[in-house]
Amino acid sequence: MAPSIRLSPAARSLFDEPLAIAVQGLGPRQQVTLRTSLRDETGELFQASARYQAGDDGQLDLARCPALPGGSFSGLEPMGLLWALQPQKPFWRLVKRDVQSPFLLQLEVLEGHGERPGRLLAQAQHERAFLRDGVRRVPVREGRIRATLFLPPGEDTFPGIIDIHGFGGGLPESRASLLANHGFATLALAYYQFEDLPQKPKELHLEYFEEAVNYMLQHPQVKGPGVGLLGFSKGGEVSLAMAAFLKNITAVASLNGPIAATCIPFSYKNKIIPTVTLHEHKAKATNSKFLDYSDVIDDPFQAPGNQSLIPLEKAEAQLLFIVGQDDRVVKSEYYVTEVCKLLQAQGKGNFQILSYPGTGHCIDPPFFPLYPIGSHPVFHKRAVLGGELRAYSKAQVHAWSQVQAFFKKYL
């Protein structure tokens, strides 16, 4: 019998779901290399490979068989061929722009363990999708709001979450679409550099975000009385500012978000939160010649930076802080530890911290490739963002399940 690849689910799975991979029909204890490839929407190639040895029966199940040294990873890692995908073009990030089409994953089984791949023994294709059947994608252009709403299948009401991205602008939809597959009505909200929104805002008006909260609460399929916020980086900071100033926010999950205003001041009614100062000259060159910007932001717990601190003691919401201990863009762990000490001193206990070693600034849903060096969101120079492959892959899976559990509990 010729070798063949067996996948479960067979033809299509969600991008954040595990995929079981097995090979049958090999020779007893035959040595093979498994390789995965995926092209993004611009045509850039991501690849991973691992070396394996079949069992005495010619079967190879990645859930039971450890990868041997010499590939992208080693050890018992059933999903290694997905989380270890790396771009062939250096410093390239995997981004999904059109969530209505899946990524196509190619799997190959090659003979032997040589530096040059051996003969092709078997191959398979698999779709990694962002929308479960029945999830609706609804573009939203109501009043000033520019967003996309994802609704789970069915006519029920669902807990509502607003998903706010970082400093890149635009309207990324991948995280919101994946969250909707898990039963949340999720609004991916743009706030600058999109359509008629400001290109370079002088201030972020919290009234705009308040409009988005009201839109969600008035939606017939959003279960009130409040909404949740999920924010990454600058989006985490925006979410925390919303929790401090706006009503009807029940739960906030912040992924490596600053706890002070950075780069763009906040305004609400007649109150302004000025930005903390950034000192570009404090960037350090690393051995690899890339810049480490982790020390460029004034300490918001020391004057003059403290007037930029978001007044989180005013927040009624439950707060979940998710931090990467190797974040080189924001000193996330330090900020969150300090701000929770302040909250505790005021008798507040509405917060929890999840802190992940070996995890950098970018914390994406599971199985997005590690992006440890890339363009700095503010200075647009090549910078160390932080993170290490295996630790990051475990953090992604754990944090994603914790975010869902947090919102299910409080919404």
> Where in the chain is CATH 3.40.50.1820?
136-410
How far separated are the first and last CA of the chain, in Å rounded?
Answer: 53
Give yes or no for a contact between 250 and 185, defined as CB atoms under 8 angstroms apart: no
Dist CA 360 CA 387 (whole Å): 4
Say which CATH topology domain 4-129 has.
Answer: Immunoglobulin-like (2.60.40)
Q: What is the pLDDT along the chain (411 residues), one digit of tens a residue?
A: 899 999 999 999 999 999 999 999 999 999 999 999 999 999 999 999 999 999 999 999 999 999 999 999 999 999 999 999 999 999 999 999 999 999 999 999 999 998 888 999 999 999 999 999 999 999 999 999 999 999 999 999 999 999 999 988 999 999 999 999 999 999 999 999 999 999 999 999 999 999 999 999 999 999 999 999 999 999 999 999 999 999 999 999 999 999 999 999 999 999 999 999 888 888 888 877 888 898 889 999 988 878 999 999 999 999 999 999 999 999 999 999 999 999 999 999 999 999 999 999 999 999 999 999 988 888 888 899 999 999 999 999 999 999 999 999 999
* Domain over 136-410 is classified CATH 3.30.420.40: no
Assigned token pair, 345: 């001193």
> Where in the chain is CATH 2.60.40.2240?
4-129
Of residues 212, 214, 219, 176, the one with CA closest to residue 197: 212
Q: What is the pTM of this model?
A: 0.96
Helix (H, G, I), strand (E, B) or coil at 46: strand
* List of E strands, 277-389: 284-285, 291-292, 318-324, 351-356, 373-375, 382-384
pLDDT at 238 (0 to 100): 98
pLDDT at 172 (0 to 100): 97
Q: State the sign of the Cα–Cα–Cα–Cα dihedral 299, 303, 305, 307.
A: positive
Alpha helices in 294-388 (DSSP H): 332-345
Average pLDDT, the chain: 96
Q: Please tell me the number of Cα atoms within 13 Å of 77 on its side-chain side.
A: 26
Dist CA 365 CA 96 (whole Å): 12
Burial of 409 (0-12, 13-18, 19+ CB in 10 A): exposed
pLDDT at 390 (0 to 100): 96
pLDDT digits (tens, 9 = 90+) for 195-245: 999 999 999 999 999 999 999 999 999 999 999 999 999 999 999 999 999
Give DSSP secondary structure letters for 135-190.
-EEEEEEETTEEEEEEE-SSSS-EEEEEEE--TT-S---HHHHHHHTTT-EEEEE-
Close Cβ partners of 64 (under 8 Å, ≥ 6 residues apart): 76
User: What is the set of active-site residues?
Assistant: 233, 327, 361
